[in-house]
Amino acid sequence: MMQPIALTTNDFKYFVDQFEDIRVLRYELPEFKSLTLQQKRMIYYLSQAALTGRDILWDQNFRFNIQIRKTLESILEYYAGDKTSEEYKSFVVYAKAVFFANGIHHHYSNDKLKPRFSPDYFANLIKGTDKHKLPLSDGQTKNELISILNPIIFDQKLFARKVERRAGADLIAESATNLYEGVNQKEVEAFYSGKSDPNDNTPVSLGLNSKVAKQKDGKIIEEVYKSGGLYGMAIDQIIIWLEKAISVAESDLQRKELKLLIDYYITGDLKIWDDFNVIWAQDNVPEVDYNNGFIETYSDPLGMKATWEAIVNYTDIEATKRTKIISANAQWFEDNSPIQPQYKKEKVTGIAAKVINIAMLGGECYPVSPLGINLPNADWIRKEIGSKSVTLANITEAYDITSQGNGFLEEFAADRSEVDRIKKYGRLSDALHTDLHECIGHASGKLADGTDSNALKNYSSVLEEARADLFALYYMMDKKLLELGLLPNEEAAKASYDSYLRNGLLTQVIRIKPGKDIEEAHMRNRSAISHWVYEKGKAENVVEIFRKNEKSYVKINDYFKLRKLFGYLLKEIQRIKSEGDYDSGRNLIEKFGVKVDPHLHSEILERYKKLNLAPFTGFVNPKLIPVYSPSGEIADVEVEYVDDYLGQMLEYGRNYSFL
């Protein structure tokens, strides 16, 4: 069990809970009261749509997750036995971890969570719970439920990993994810082989919203997520709230896009999904915006199938001034990037960048939130129409404020000057890095004619994140940012490089257990970039890892040469993506982004342990409470901030479970 997490004075405004390797924070909704009634109603309806799809993600993550979650919920609420014992406390911690991960596999490592209580104790918990409250099917007994769940939960070799990315493994057969059933990697690749037309300039994202399964007769089929299809009961609830949102949409274009989103959910037609994204990407007028759908493919071993997510947000008008400057100069950034001329966009179109405040997190974005988002993902839409890039202001603020004074920076920074530079400029440089990554990085470059957008397969996500990161890193040290007033001086840019290399070479491994490889796409990206520039710059000692007082530190000796190295790697990764060079992409990531030095890892973990901090952070949502007029119309929406993590999870289980 972890030591209690050390809290600073700033934590108490945001801190909600801590357990295992996790802390839970709240986020605030600044200026919410100043929004119009129409905007508040829009946020409320979209927020209900964001919460209503919760079960979809749980089932996508693992086919037994919902049954397990409902069993945990029933025990927590209705168990009649002793709730003061150490074993029960361990059960509560396990339940919290399962809720945090949206299933029984760790949200970051993908390893199955390990309970700190016995199978017999779990059986006794079920036996001590009212059978009418347990998720028992018709005629099923408690003992039968126990016989199903106990091996799934306690046998660490059974369904051991949600997503397997180990080189040489069967990435489908050895993954517990429920995006596939009864098939192996070769069968899935053969199923989709030849289905994309290399001459189609507007290809749909094959397989994005479906499960591939083998029937009893051996036939392989797609089960499409749609009304009347797979997850139809939850999708129908989402549609109800989206229809309400249409009535308070802020523009005709927003009404049109919502109708298309509903049509997509009704039909499952990926062409309609693209039509929706085209309109959504063009619609920059409304202050209230959202994401809702099967969007990101990080949890698919092959990088094709998307998990369900939703966010609801409204614009931070003051902070958006920074991103507007970036997007207004998008063509300059594209023209002056170090990538090959043939892979640059001749005309950068439709980059809409803003800073937002999150009003509700759902699906894959809850409780762990992104810090920035760039959508749509389809390359042809990015090229022809453009994209929306957002930085999440209130989420970032909660992270930043609770990190001040916790001792982490002082422990791992190379010297006092680096500490001072980060404290003075770190928040600004981190925000600008995110802006450049989302606004310009993801929106830059283009595919060569005839390149299959799925050519990079399981390395697609990590290479795309690396490409966007490198774009941001390359421009952080450019004088253009000083000219635009985005940075005050070069010291602020150096702070970005300090943080990135320290994280990529040293500290991000606090999230990895001893003996494990790096699995998560963003971590592989940061590791690959950091280790590549470290190795390539060795001859000139651009970056060094040195020892002081038996501790390892990272020091950048030449920031300008480091910038050139970032440029060289950006050029190569853009080439890999543009040409669909799978072998080069795989070799780069496997060589520089996957393995962890065991001796350095052990040292970093030991140093981190002494700080009593949590490496993972998630959030509880605020509660949006509609206030009704005598006529039954919503007259206002009030915000109630939640300080009970487990209570919110149980409430969501009661109110938003449709599968």
Q: Which residues of 160-186 are buried (b: 16+ CB within 10 A; e: fewer)?
A: ebbbbbeeeeebbbbbbbbbbeebebe
pLDDT tens by residue, 464-481: 999 999 999 999 999 999
Q: What's the N-to-C CA distance of the chain in angstroms?
A: 34
pLDDT tens by residue, 17-44: 999 999 999 999 999 999 999 999 999 9
Same-domain status, 541 and 633: no
Q: What is the mean pLDDT of residues 534-553?
A: 97
Spatial CB neighbours of 247, under 8 Å, sequence gap ≥ 6: none
| Strands 616-620 and 551-556, sheet pairing | unpaired
Same-domain status, 449 and 595: yes
The pLDDT value recorded for residue 420 is 95
Same-domain status, 552 and 645: no
Confirm whether 363 is domain-assigned.
yes
Under 8 Å between Cβ of 203 and 380? yes
pLDDT tens by residue, 5-17: 344 444 558 999 9
| Strands 22-26 and 616-620, sheet pairing | parallel
Query: Which DSSP letter does residue 423 get?
Result: H
**What is the rounded CA–CA span in Å between residue 430 and residue 499?**
9
The pLDDT value recorded for residue 11 is 52
**Higher pLDDT residue, 38 or 199?**
38
Residue 302 pLDDT grade (very low, low, confident, very high; cuts 50, 70, 90): very high
Residue 406 pLDDT grade (very low, low, confident, very high; cuts 50, 70, 90): confident
Confirm whether 122 is domain-assigned.
yes
Confirm whether 222 is domain-assigned.
no
Confirm whether 562 is domain-assigned.
yes
Confirm whether 1 is domain-assigned.
no
**Higher pLDDT residue, 404 or 151?**
151
pLDDT tens by residue, 230-253: 999 999 999 999 999 999 999 999
The pLDDT value recorded for residue 8 is 43
pLDDT tens by residue, 76-104: 999 999 999 999 999 999 999 999 999 99
Same-domain status, 36 and 107: yes
Domain extent for 138: 11-161+627-655
pLDDT higher than 90, residue 179? yes
Residue 334 pLDDT grade (very low, low, confident, very high; cuts 50, 70, 90): very high
Strand partners, 547: 552
Same-domain status, 494 and 636: no
pLDDT tens by residue, 353-369: 899 999 999 999 999 99
Q: Where are the alpha helices (DSSP H) in 293-415?
A: 317-328, 330-335, 379-384, 393-403, 408-412
What pTM was estimated for this model as a whole? 0.88
**What is the rounded CA–CA span in Å between residue 109 and residue 100?**
13
The pLDDT value recorded for residue 5 is 39
Q: What is the 3-state secondary structure (H, E, C) of 24-78?
A: EEECCCCCHHHCCHHHHHHHHHHHHHHHHCHHHHHHHHCCCHHHHHHHHHHHHHH
**What is the rounded CA–CA span in Å between residue 323 and residue 641?**
29
Same-domain status, 568 and 645: no
Q: What is the mean pLDDT of residues 51-70?
A: 98
Spatial CB neighbours of 564, under 8 Å, sequence gap ≥ 6: none
The pLDDT value recorded for residue 2 is 34
Same-domain status, 501 and 520: yes
pLDDT tens by residue, 560-576: 999 999 999 999 999 99
The pLDDT value recorded for residue 7 is 40
The pLDDT value recorded for residue 6 is 41
What's the structural domain count of the chain?
2
Confirm whether 569 is domain-assigned.
yes
**What is the rounded CA–CA span in Å between residue 194 and residue 315?**
43
The pLDDT value recorded for residue 21 is 92
The pLDDT value recorded for residue 199 is 86
Under 8 Å between Cβ of 285 and 251? yes
Lowest mean per-residue pLDDT among 69-78, 146-155, 164-173: 164-173
pLDDT tens by residue, 566-618: 999 999 999 999 999 999 999 999 999 999 999 999 999 999 999 988 999 99
Q: What is the mean pLDDT of residues 397-414?
A: 89
**What is the rounded CA–CA span in Å between residue 497 and residue 512?**
23
Confirm whether 352 is domain-assigned.
yes
**What is the rounded CA–CA span in Å between residue 36 and residue 33?**
8
Spatial CB neighbours of 42, under 8 Å, sequence gap ≥ 6: 245, 248, 249, 250, 288
Same-domain status, 635 and 539: no
Instruction: Give me the percent of the chain exceeding a pLDDT of 70.
Output: 98
Same-domain status, 408 and 326: yes
The pLDDT value recorded for residue 12 is 54
Orientation angle between helical segments 54-61 and 65-78, nearest 10 degrees:
120
Confirm whether 205 is domain-assigned.
no
Same-domain status, 642 and 577: no
Same-domain status, 413 and 433: yes
- What average pLDDT does the chain have? 94
Q: What is the mean pLDDT of residues 219-227?
A: 97
Same-domain status, 455 and 569: yes
Strand partners, 543: 556
